[in-house]
Structure 1
Amino acid sequence: MQALVLTKASEDFELTETQLTVPSVGDGQVLIKVDYAALNPVDSKLAKVGHSVWQYPHIPALDGVGTVVDSYSPHCPLIGKQVLWHSDLSKAGALAEYVAIEAHAVSLLPEGVEPLQAAALPCAGMTAILALCKLQVEAGETILIEAGAGAVGQFAIQLAKTKGLTVLATASKANHKLVSCLGADHVFDYRDKHLVDKIKQALAYQPLDAVLDSVGGEATARDIELLRFNGRIACLTELPEIDAGLLFERSPAIHAVSLGGAWLANDLCAQQKLSMMGDHLLELLASKQLHVPEIHAIDFDAEKVTNAMHKQLAGGLVGKQIVKITP
């Protein structure tokens, strides 16, 4: 089969095209003919540093959509059906014509859902769901969603509004219209020197109930300062060092959000929840209650996909980069 692979992880990583053997189907797995692979920032970050159990050449891309062509069981009802998945980061990914995935972690595409649209869902959409679940948000509460124009932010804004939240979001000025159209009640320029004051004004000087922090760094401490006592913050990036006095004053519930942990912790229940989250996102997409970010089509070409992955790291990308695998 044709595949795009990393021969090593490095800051200046590049993919090469190669021919590999079609993967065998292990116990509990399905073999999928890949239609689309979605690129996420985590794919590019891993390409820089690798993973301790990777064997090279390694196939990247955790998200995909494709058709099940074989299974560990000849009676598997998934055979012939289109599915999406978010895969184990320690194993081969979706930038290949075929991939073997655990059957309990895939989600069946409903009739009428375009596979290209579905490919934009897994990593960003599941991350948004998981973050909001950890935050235990309720109708009537306020939430600040950092990087509202990012893929996670776009999904989180829409999901938060369905829960009856008042949504505040940060984004560059160029993306304020987009973020507002997604449902954000207040949008702020993340570069604004008076950002904190403007957020406080929008809240009538009341503290926030929750924050979805996909930025990290100095923004994390700033966001904790905006929280009420015992407020909640979900962090998608590495936690910075936070002043002990601020933690004592706010006593926040700090939640780390990691989809990959479901696989790395070998937690079968958490892996099944990935499938359930995928099902929920697909239902919302099918009923037109959820819109995916703008899709940027990428050819199944080593140089073009390499450039696209480096673009993920540069920041500022609005939309999802999707690679069409099957001609």
Structure 2
Amino acid sequence: MALNESIQLGELPKTMKAIVLEKPNEQMQLSTAELALPQCDENEVLVKIEYVGLNPLDAQFAKAGFCKWQYPHTIGLDAVGIVVQANKGLFPSIGDRIMWHSSLAQQGVLSEYAKVPNYSVSVIPDGVPSSTAATLPCAGMSALIALNKIQISEGDTIFIEAGAGAVGQFAIQFAKQRGADVFTTASKHNHKLVKKLGADAVFDYHDKKLCENIRATLGPQGFDAVIDSIGGETTVRNIELMRFCGRIACLKTLPVLAPELMFRKAPNISIVSLGGAWLANSLCAQQHMSFMSKLLLENVADGKIIPPEQFIVDFNDVCISRALEKQISGNFTGKQIVKLQ
């Protein structure tokens, strides 16, 4: 899939099509714009985008905006594409197919071309389709960070909220790789899916007796660890389900936690912030994103991890706006992928 390595800047177009947010709005209405081609710094590569994976964050920020953005802003965080410009000796090279999760503070990747620091990307193995790779970055890396923060190891009991969501699917599989006993929640029609991924026990999150049923299955000791992707009162409930000094990784902002609960459970609370690697200007954390991407790609290539089901979205503002509505509603299982090429 490599391009001709003789591609030079002069052979590239001067402008490109991009999907932009003119201003935050409840309807998540987007526009199509013609923008100048990005100009790369010394350690950046220019990429011709093939696919962009959509995430709940994209919908959240289309509604509310983000403090670092100037408008109009190109949205999109997860990208797959082919390097078309790179300084001599820089890795990856022209023609390489790469995957990455981009900076939340910079312009997004829903455009025909995008630039990215070379040290934050991973080259995609030949056996992994570009559309599959686009399902991996945000959800897969968030799951890995969460598991690392709560130090999952063999014999641990872990409770993973929303197991049929993209983060949940990756977390279940990687937790099983580490030898954990996995408990999760999902709608009844997704129980078969999460069991296939390795969940040992699955509970219907609509069940009014959810906590009672979990305790009846788990026993009185409580979970060693929790991955909480829901937030709010669910976080409070999950801390109640943990053992004393249990570990919880939260993907959402913490709610107000009662002092009595904190004293009684003494939880070890971690916050998962994939975008923080960019917002904190942490070169080490940005390089670590490349390592995690490589791990995800290798596991998919080797058949050790099953990626979420893909739903292809056309590269136009109306279709992408509708897709973002689905991200908010949560009434689907899998990953929506925008196809540009």
TM-score (norm 1): 0.98
Spell out, residue by residue over 1:152-193, the C-alpha distance to the aligned partner (whole angstroms, 9 max, x if none).
Answer: 000000000000000000011111111111100000001111
Map of 1:1-327 to 2, 5 A cutoff? Answer: 1-71=16-86, 73-78=87-92, 79-326=94-341
> Given that residues 99 and 137 in structure 2 are in contact (C-alpha distance below 8 angstroms), is that contact kept between their aligned partners in structure 1?
yes
Unaligned runs of 5+ in 1: none
Distance 2:63 2:303 in 1: 37
Distance 1:237 1:77 in 2: 35
Which moved further from structure 2: 167-176 or 7-16? 7-16
Structure 1 stretches of 4+ moved >3 Å: none
Amino acid at match of 1:187: V
Distance 2:24 2:42 in 1: 29
Distance 2:106 2:29 in 1: 18
CA RMSD in angstroms, aligned pairs only: 0.9
How far the C-alpha of 1:208 sits from its partner, in A, is 0.7
Spell out, residue by residue over 1:75-111, the C-alpha distance to the aligned partner (whole angstroms, 9 max, x if none).
Answer: 2242210000000011111111000111110011012
Amino acid at match of 1:285: V
Distance 1:226 1:54 in 2: 39
Distance 1:22 1:93 in 2: 13
Percent identical = 51
Spell out, residue by residue over 1:266-288, the C-alpha distance to the aligned partner (whole angstroms, 9 max, x if none).
Answer: 00000001000000000000000
> Given that residues 104 and 275 in structure 2 are in contact (C-alpha distance below 8 angstroms), is that contact kept between their aligned partners in structure 1?
yes
Amino acid at match of 1:244: P
SS of equivalent residue, structure 1 residue 20: strand
Distance 1:18 1:76 in 2: 31
How far the C-alpha of 1:13 sits from its partner, in A, is 2.4
Distance 2:311 2:128 in 1: 18
SS of equivalent residue, structure 2 residue 36: coil
SS of equivalent residue, structure 1 residue 33: strand
Amino acid at match of 1:228: R
| Number of equivalent positions | 325
SS of equivalent residue, structure 2 residue 74: coil
Amino acid at match of 1:128: A
How far the C-alpha of 1:28 sits from its partner, in A, is 1.3
TM-score (norm 2): 0.94
How far the C-alpha of 1:317 sits from its partner, in A, is 2.4
> Given that residues 28 and 324 in structure 2 are in contact (C-alpha distance below 8 angstroms), is that contact kept between their aligned partners in structure 1?
no
